[in-house]
Every structure is written in structure tokens, then in C-alpha cells.
Structure 1
Amino acid sequence: VMDVPRAETRRYGVLDVVRESGNLVEARGLVEKPAPEEAPSTLSIIGRYILDPAVFVELDRQEAGAGGEIQLTDAMARTIGRLPFHGLRFTGRRFDCGSKAGFLEANIAFALERADLHEDMHDILTRYGAAAEQGQGAGG
């Protein structure tokens, strides 16, 4: 889990936190993509899960919702209260690959950190940056 600006809570599942101990948080509930004024916290669910088998039982019982999708967070929310539900605060660097810009940023950052791609990527970014400053597109 990770704190996000309150205005961004509408993009994530958000925990309703009971208590915190260091990087570990215990939740009493979660809300999927709440309006900022209705978010119980700014602690957003951003990562991977280790789930109790009971969550999968709930998934089996669940009807498809909007768009014909079955939401994992709905099944998780129904198990909270019956089972302990915890989150671990993420402290590393995170990219939001759910957006096109975030996906591109992740790939650029990855390329810049690789010795075999760094120089080429730096040259490409410099070229595109110069073109953008001159109000030109990628082709110059």
C-alpha cells in the first residue's frame, strides 16, 4: 500500500485503517475508487496480494458487475472483518503502468538504468526534448 494525494484516491482501492505498526497496517475495510471527500484514508492498494483462500471462495460466489467483470477487491472487502487484513507500506519507486504516460515513464526509467541502453536512451530523450522546446514534433 502507498499514500497518494487525496485527489488521486478516485483512481485506487483505498484502505480504511484500524491501526498501524511501522510499515504494517491493519484494515477494517476498503473502498474501491472513492471520491476524495469520501475516502477513508489516502492509503491506496497499489501492489500484489497474498490472499487467504476464503477470498477465492468469495470470488466463486460473486456475480459479474459492470462491464461483465468480477472485481477482486469486492471479494477482498467481503472477507475483511471475518479474517485479518493487512497491508505493507511500499517504500520504493513505483510507476503507474495503468496509464499510458506511466507505462512510458517506467520503460524510459528501465532503459536509463541499463548500461547497454543508457547512452542511446539519453540521446533519444535529448533529441525529443530539443524538438519539444522548439515546438516541433518527433520528426523535427
Structure 2
Amino acid sequence: MQVRKAVLPVAGWGTRFLPATKAMPKEMFPIIDKPVIQFIVEECISADIENIIFVTGRHKRPIEHHFDINTDLEKHLEQCGKMDLLRNIMEISRLINPIYVRQKEQLGLGHAVLVAEPVVGYEPFVVALGDIIIKDERNVLERMIEVYNRFGKSVIAVFEVDLKDVSKYGIVDGRLIERDIYIVDHLIEKPKPEEAPSHLAIVGRYLFTPRIFEKLKITPPGKGGEIQLTDAIRLLIEDEAVYAIKIDAKVYDTGTPLGYIQTVLDFALQRDDIRDDLISYLRQLLSNNIPQIDTV
């Protein structure tokens, strides 16, 4: 079956960014002039997926507004002659077919995916985390769909991390069957470095067959009463093959304050209209603060 739908779980509280996330979803934080969530949506569109299912909460209305048509703003920009901005705004409003599903309780990533079942139906679908931006020469979701089309089974995107960082991720234990493609034998959630079976970390992109819903329904809640997606994948592996594709890409985790700042800086340094002035400012900043750093 063709992969036509993507599930974007965006209902989390974003507690690491409080009090900012009390009123503004972290997925709407700007990377210069584009919110994080738009990067993920554009990735889906580039892979020919236009049916985007947002699993939201009551505090996530700004995401809905962002992908809606704003006739007052469009009229204002047209009257001001700001046609480039007008085209940009109109494109955003017409990018996708958005579908919003409410996750009434924060019961984990697995629960968020399960909430989308009535809309997904019995067909394969993508899950893309709303705070992970991936920059690669080839669209990662597109590559995952190619693997799915070959094998007809679920696919997880992974990337290689340093041993000291494995405790931040779900780690895949698998067998390499051809270049960059593995059969997954086991998943370990945030292992200690000495317990990690590999350096292959899940990168926040999944492609599932609909059988994942069966497994999510029988996955027992873990810590905090949450249903973990990795636990459901382990159950899925017992019944059918799950593949992993290794990507060699720049991965930006905007879900932490440091990761968000690093993302903004990296993207700013790639902008011709910002880069030179930013480099000059950073040099000045470092020059002023290096003596202070040395004395700490």
C-alpha cells in the first residue's frame, strides 16, 4: 500500500522550555523566521505525503493557526505591496491537508500514535517527531518509503552517535543486510554506555505497518504510566521483521534549550543575509569573554 499519511505527535507540554511553553508550543519556536514544525511538514511534503495528522493538546492551537488561511494578513501584505511575503504566507496555508486529533491525556509517545489510529486506518504511515529537524542531501522519509516498498515492513531511521551519548536515545541492535540497511533484532531505550549494543540511535522518524496499533493496544504502561513506542516496536519484532536505515545527516534536536540554540546558530550561519554580521558578533563576544572564561 502507498504511504499517504504522516502522524506528528505534538501534544507534549515542553516543560524544558517553561515558562515560554505555557502559551507557545515548542514546535512553533522560530528557527530565524520559520517555526520548527514547518521544517518537519516540508520534509513530509517532499516525500509526497500531504495528509498530516497532528496529535495535539488543548495548548497547541497556534500550530493549527499557522497552517490555516489568514485572509486579513494576506490582504494587509497585498495592500503593502509585500508580494514575496504574501506568496510565502499563502504557500504555508496551502501546503497540506491538516487533520487534528486531540490527545486528551499525556500518556506517552506510544499513546499519541495510538490516538491517531481512527484517522490512519489500516494502512502504512509515517511518524515524525515535531522537534527533530534533519538536514540531508536526500529526503530521509523518501528513503524510508523506498525501503518499505521493497520489503513491505516497518522501517526506523537511525544515525550513529558517540558512545557517551547513547544514554540519550533509543539504541538499535541489528544485523547489516546491505549498505545502510539493517534488520532490527532488539531495541534498548537510553542504555548506559557499557550496555549499549551499538552506536545506532533512533532519530525520530518511523514508518509503520498498521500492525503497530495492535501492539500499542497491548503494550503495558511504563514509567509514569506512559505507553512507550519502543516497547510496542519490541512486540512488533516478535511477529514480523522491522528494518532500520542508517542516515548520514545533520540532526538537530530542538527539544532542549541547548539544542535549540545550536540549531538557530547553525541555520543563521547558513543564511547569506545574516552570516557575516553574526560571525562578526560571535568573534566580538568570544573576544570579550575569553579572559573571564579562563578565570573560572
Q: 5 Å matches for 1:48-127?
A: 48-127=205-284
Aligned partners of 1:28 and 1:81 also within 8 Å: no
CA drift of 1:98 comes to: 4.1
Query: How much does 1:66 deviate?
Result: 1.6
**Residues 1:44 and 2:194 aligned together:** no
Name the SS for the 1:94 alignment partner: strand
- Please tell me the residue identity of whatever aligns with 2:269: L
- Looking at structure 2, the residues matched to 117 and 73 of structure 1 have their Cα atoms a distance apart, in angstroms, of 40
CA deviation vs aligned residue, 1:21-73 (integer Å, no higher than 9, x gap): 10111111111111122212121112311111111222233343222322111
Count of residues in Structure 1 that have an aligned counterpart in Structure 2: 136
What is aligned with 1:26? 183
Task: Report the Cα offset of residue 128 of structure 1.
Answer: 2.0
| Residue deviations 1:58-113 (CA, integer Å, cap 9, x gap) | 22333432223221111111101312111111112223334322221111000111
Q: Distance in 1 between matches of 2:204 and 2:243?
A: 13
Structure 1 alignment gaps of length 5 or more:
none
Q: Distance in 1 between matches of 2:274 and 2:240?
A: 47
1:35 to 171, 192, 199: 192
**Corresponding residue SS for 1:15:** strand
* Structure 1 segment 122-133 matched on structure 2, within 5 A: 122-133=279-290
Distance, in Å, in 1 between the alignment partners of 2:246 and 2:165 is 17
Residue 172 (structure 2) aligns with: 15
Inter-CA distance 133–16: structure 2 relative to 1 (3 Å threshold)? same
CA contact (8 A) 1:15 1:41 kept: yes
Give the secondary-structure state (helix, strand or coil) at the position aligned to 2:208.
coil
Alpha-carbon distance in structure 1 between the residues aligned to 2:227 and 2:280: 44
Q: Report the TM-score when normalising by structure 2.
A: 0.42
Q: Distance in 2 between matches of 1:40 and 1:88?
A: 17
Could you tell which deviates more after superposition, 96-105 or 34-43? 96-105
Give the match's secondary structure for 1:8.
Answer: helix
Distance in 2, Cα, partners of 1:133 & 1:85: 49
1:115 alignment partner, SS class: coil
Letter in 1 for 2:192: A
Q: Which has the higher strand share?
A: 2
Letter in structure 1 aligned against 2:286? G
Separation of aligned partners in 1, 2:218 and 2:277: 51
Cα RMSD (Å): 1.9
Cross-structure match for 2:64: none
- Distance in 2 (alpha carbons) for counterparts of 1:67 and 1:124: 44
